[in-house]
Amino acid sequence: MDAFPPLQTDRLMLRLFEESDIPELVQLAGDRDIAATTLRLPHPYSEAHARNWVEETNRRFRENESLELAVTRKSDGLLLGAAGLVFNHEFDNAELGYCIGKPFWGNGYAGEAAQALVLHGFDQLNLYRIHAHHFAGNKASGKVLENCGMVREGVLIQHIKKWGRYHDIILYGMLNPQTAS
Ligand SMILES: CC(C)(COP(=O)(O)OP(=O)(O)OC[C@H]1O[C@@H](n2cnc3c(N)ncnc32)[C@H](O)[C@@H]1OP(=O)(O)O)[C@@H](O)C(=O)NCCC(=O)NCCS
Q: How far away, in angstroms, is 145 Cα from ligand 1 center? A: 9
Range of the domain at 117: 7-128
Q: What is the mean pLDDT of each run of 10 residues along the chain (181 residues)?
A: 89 98 98 93 97 98 98 98 98 98 98 98 98 97 97 98 96 94 70
Look at residue 107 and tell me if it is in a domain: yes
pLDDT score recorded for residue 180: 78
Look at residue 162 and tell me if it is in a domain: no
Q: How far away, in angstroms, is 110 Cα from ligand 1 center? A: 7
Q: Would you say the CB of residue 6 lies under 6 angstroms from ligand 1?
A: no
pLDDT score recorded for residue 2: 65
pLDDT score recorded for residue 19: 98
In total, how many domains does the chain have? 1
Q: How far away, in angstroms, is 63 Cα from ligand 1 center? A: 31
Q: Would you say the CB of residue 82 lies under 6 angstroms from ligand 1?
A: no
Q: How far away, in angstroms, is 111 Cα from ligand 1 center? A: 8
Nearest-CA neighbor of 118 among 92, 149, 139? Answer: 149
How far apart are alpha carbons 124 and 83 in whole angstroms?
Answer: 17
Write phi, then psi, for 178 (nearest 5 degrees): -85, -25
Q: What is the pTM of this model?
A: 0.97
Look at residue 148 and tell me if it is in a domain: no
Q: Would you say the CB of residue 99 lies under 6 angstroms from ligand 1?
A: yes
Closest C-alpha to ligand 1, atom 36? 100
CATH code at 34? 3.40.630.30
Do 164 and 152 meet the contact criterion of CB atoms below 8 Å apart? Answer: no
Which strand (E) or helix (H) includes residue 86? strand 79-88
* Residue type present at position 48: A
Closest C-alpha to ligand 1, atom 10? 108
SS3 132: strand
Q: Would you say the CB of residue 172 lies under 6 angstroms from ligand 1?
A: no
- Residue pLDDT, tens place only, 47-96: 999 999 999 999 999 999 999 999 999 999 999 999 999 999 999 999 99
Look at residue 112 and tell me if it is in a domain: yes
DSSP letter at 164 equals: T
